[in-house]
């Protein structure tokens, strides 16, 4: 997704809890061909996650964050926006981090895959650091979910899972 030139008069974004799991699932499937979110080699579906949605001032859905609190760690399974470069991803990331802090979580953990340079940049620019890599993490899940796309972003095979963390 291409970021637009930044404007000073950015429209306000509302981030609220979201219960429309069908739409949330569709966003994941449109993006990746499946609603699997892989953590530490284990797959979770959208229905197992808590959701937040970002809306633009005109009420249009701008994106969804999929996350869950797990012990002392908040797991950010994915953020998917409908139109990039408008601040939706950042608003969702900040809202999940704020909620995790309010729940006294120690760390926010995000996942991405080897083909997703944009997400690697996005998360690092928001303070996250790489903590783990699971070679073949996506391949392992593909055995059970053949609908998962072979080719990821930039025409790169989507195979490995990277985890990043932010101290809260
Ligand atoms: C990665 C992703 C979530 C980022 O979401 P996004 O909404 O584009 O993110 P933002 O708009 O908040 O930030 C992107 C850039 O736009 C800039 N931006 C923010 N508000 C802006 C505005 N109103 N106008 C123009 N640019 C803006 C940000 O500064 C940011 O630049 P930076 O990263 O250099 O600081 C999005 O690209 C996406 O959904 N990708 C596909 C799914 C995915 O890979 N998810 C992440 C892995 S789970």
Residues in the chain: 168
Entry pTM: 0.92
Fold of 14-167: Aminopeptidase (3.40.630)
Q: List the chain pLDDT tens, one digit each, 168 residues.
A: 444 445 445 679 999 999 999 999 999 999 888 888 877 667 788 999 999 999 999 999 999 999 999 999 999 999 999 999 999 999 999 999 999 999 999 999 999 999 999 999 999 999 999 999 999 888 887 777 777 778 889 999 999 989 999 999
pLDDT attached to residue 10: 65
- Residue to mutate (ligand 1; options 79, 88, 96, 112; most atoms within 8 A of CB): 79
* Ligand 1 interacting residues, C-beta cut-off 6 A: 1, 3-4, 6-7, 10, 31, 78-81, 84-90, 112, 116, 118-119, 122, 125
Nearest-atom number in ligand 1 for the CA of 122 is 33
- Write a three-state SS string for the chain: CCCCCCCCCCCCCEEEECCCHHHHHHHHHHHHCCCCEEECCEEECHHHCEEEEEECCCCCEEEEEEEEEECCEEEEEEEEECCCCCCHHHHHHHHHHHHHHHCCCCEEEEEEECCCHHHHHHHHHCCCEEEEEECCHHHHHHCCCCCCCCECHHHCECCCEEEEEEEC
pLDDT at res. 149: 79
């Amino acid at each position: 997704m291409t970021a637009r030139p930044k404007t000073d008069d950015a429209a306000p974004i509302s981030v609220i809890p979201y219960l429309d799991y069908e739409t949330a699932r569709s966003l994941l499937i449109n993006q990746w061909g499946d609603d699997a979110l892989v953590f530490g080699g284990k797959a979770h579906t959208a229905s197992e996650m808590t959701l937040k949605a970002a809306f633009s001032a005109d009420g249009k859905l701008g994106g969804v964050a999929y996350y869950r609190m797990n012990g002392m760690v908040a797991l950010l399974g994915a953020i998917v926006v409908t139109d990039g470069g408008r601040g939706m991803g950042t608003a969702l990331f900040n809202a999940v981090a704020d909620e995790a802090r309010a729940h006294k979580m120690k760390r926010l953990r995000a996942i991405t895959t080897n083909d997703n340079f944009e997400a690697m940049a996005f998360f690092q620019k928001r303070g996250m650091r790489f903590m783990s890599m699971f070679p073949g993490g996506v391949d392992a899940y593909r055995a059970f979910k053949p609908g998962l796309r072979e080719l990821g972003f930039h025409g790169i095979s989507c195979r490995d899972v990277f985890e990043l963390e932010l101290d809260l």
